[in-house]
Amino acid sequence: MTAGRFRHFVGIDWSGAVGEHQPGIAVALAAAGDDAPQLVRAGHRWSRTEVVEWLLRDLPHDTLVGLDLAISLPFADRGAFFPGWAETPSGARTLWALVERICANDPYLAASTFVDHPDAARHFRRHGGREGAHFGGGRGRFRLTERAQEAMGCRPYSNFNLVGAAQVGKSSLTGMRLLHRLGGKL
């Protein structure tokens, strides 16, 4: 990597799994140049809250951060995140705020209350064969990003799908709580 605006690069492997400390969360830091990224606190089982604290407290100021999650849900396909729900947000930041408000009492930045919320649940495919009436059938609703991946021959998953090893919905929803808490502070 060559130096430019950013002199450091962070990659965060995120997790939407239940519980405080997650073996699936990893943080790696690389400096501009040819050296390989190094794990931050190698061997440590991070909590989502610890990642937020590390980003706010220890992140070098000239760092580009990449997160392994979707920062939003499908919107363009239907003109709304949650068509028919009076509280449907108008954009990504208001979506993050809605997830945070509904999940305020969920520990460890979890998003369980959101996916069980009666208005939100209608849009998700959840465990136990529960598929909301607005999931969209098949593989579900896609963002423009997933449509572009599809056009390249990839098989993306809907962020409204919360079932299976390849699902990305849970990590994205918990990640939205992280993004809301960061709130432009980086």
**Residuewise pLDDT in 10s, the chain (186 residues):** 556 789 999 999 999 999 999 999 999 999 999 999 999 999 999 999 999 999 999 999 999 999 999 999 999 999 999 999 999 999 999 999 999 999 999 999 999 999 999 999 999 999 999 999 999 999 999 999 999 999 999 999 999 999 998 899 999 999 999 999 999 898
Q: What's the burial of 144, exposed, middle or buried (CB within 10 Å: 0-12/13-18/19+)?
A: exposed
Residues 97 and 57 in one domain: no
How is residue 64 written in tokens? 């580009």
Task: Flag whether 103 is in a domain.
Answer: yes
Residues 122 and 173 in one domain: yes
Task: Flag whether 19 is in a domain.
Answer: yes
Q: Which domain holds residue 160?
A: 92-182
- pLDDT (0 to 100) of residue 165: 85
Residues 96 and 63 in one domain: no
**What is the tally of structural domains in the chain?**
2
Residues 59 and 18 in one domain: yes
- pLDDT (0 to 100) of residue 2: 57
- pLDDT (0 to 100) of residue 42: 97
Task: Flag whether 3 is in a domain.
Answer: no
Residues 39 and 107 in one domain: no
Residues 96 and 178 in one domain: yes
Residues 52 and 131 in one domain: no
Task: Flag whether 85 is in a domain.
Answer: no
